[in-house]
Amino acid sequence: MKKKQPLADLRNNYQRGELAEQATSEVPLQQFEQWLNEAITQKVNEPNAMTLATVDADGRPACRPVLIKDCDARGIVWFTNYQSRKGLSLANNPFAALQFFWPELERVVRIEGKVEKISETESDAYFHSRPLSSRIGAWASPQSTVIESRTVIVSQAAKYGAEFGLHPPRPPHWGGYRLVPDYWEFWQGRPSRLHDRICYRLQPDGQWQRLRLAP
C-alpha cells in the first residue's frame, strides 16, 4: 500500500503575481471586474463560482457554492430558492460573505455586506433567459428539504414540464439576491507565505478606505 502523504506536509509556494497598493483601483468594484475578467480570459475553471456564507437564526454558519450572475455599483447578484437553507438564513440574518477562489491565478476575493432581494422584474428577466430545463427545475426541486430518492424530483420535473410546456412562469419562491458590499479584500499569493492583502472598507461618507493587511 502506498504511504499516505501527511496533510500537514502539503504546501504550495505561490509566485505568480503581486499586488501593490498603487497598482489597484481606488474603487473596489473596478478592481474586482479587472480580476474577474482576467480569470475568464485565463480560462480559470468556473471563474464565476463563489462561496456564499450565511448565518441562521441560531447563530450557526453555513457555506455553499453559488454563481455570480451580475455585478454593478449596487452589488453582487445571484439566484436561488428563497425557501432553501440559505434563503431562510438570509430572512433571519440579512448579512453574508462571498469568496471567489481562482487557484490558477493564486488569487482570492472576499466580499462582505448586507443582502437584499432584487426586484421581481429583474428576477423575471433572468428566469426567462434560462434554459427550459433549468426553469422547470426551479419548480421541481424543494431545495434543501429531505426527499426519499431522486425519483421525487424527476417525477416533479415531468409533472411541471407537462403542466407548463415551453413557458413556465417564475416560481414565487425563486429569485435573485444582491449583496451590497461594505468590505472587499483582494488576496494575491506570494512566496514564503508573505502574501499581499489589500482591503477596502466603506466609510460613513460613502468613500472607500484602501488598506494593506498583514498576511
Closest to 112 measured CA to CA, from 26, 50, 174, 48: 50
11 is in an annotated binding site: yes
**Contacts for 90 with CB less than 8 Å, ≥ 6 apart:** 54, 96, 115, 177
88 known ligand binder: no
Q: Is the pLDDT of residue 14 over 90?
A: no
User: Residue 126: its pLDDT value, please?
Assistant: 98
CA dist., res. 45 & res. 48, Å (int): 9
Q: What is the pTM (predicted TM-score) of this model?
A: 0.93
Q: Is the pLDDT of residue 48 over 70?
A: yes
Domain ranges of the chain: 14-128+172-213, 131-169
pLDDT in tens, 174-191: 999 999 999 999 999 999
How far apart CA 208 and CA 215 sit, in angstroms, is: 21
174 assigned ligand-binding residue: no
CA dist 127 and 171 (Å) reads: 9
**Domain 14-128+172-213 bears CATH identifier 2.30.40.10:** no
Contacts of 172 (CB under 8 A, 6+ apart): none
Q: What pairing do the DSSP bridges indicate for beta strands 75-81 and 95-102?
A: unpaired
The stretch 12-38 carries a mean pLDDT of 93
Res 15 pLDDT > 90 = no
14 is in an annotated binding site: yes
CA 94 distance to own-chain centroid = 15
130-168 pLDDT tens trace: 999 999 999 999 999 999 999 999 999 999 999 999 999
Judged by average pLDDT, the poorest of 8-12, 64-68, 201-205 is 8-12
- Is 193 known to be catalytic? yes
d(CA 128, CA 121): 11
All 3 cell numbers of residue 47? 471563474
Indicate whether 45 pLDDT > 90: yes
Q: What is the pLDDT of residue 1?
A: 67
195 is in an annotated binding site: yes
Angle between helix 150-164 and helix 132-140 axes, rounded to 10 deg: 120
Q: Which of 170, 178, 190, 193 is catalytic?
A: 193
Average pLDDT, the chain: 96
Q: Which amino acid is at 205?
A: D
76 carries a ligand binding annotation: no
40 — pLDDT class (breaks 50, 70, 90):
very high
Of the chain, the percentage scoring pLDDT greater than 90 comes to 91
Distance from C-alpha of 196 to C-alpha of 215, rounded to nearest angstrom: 6
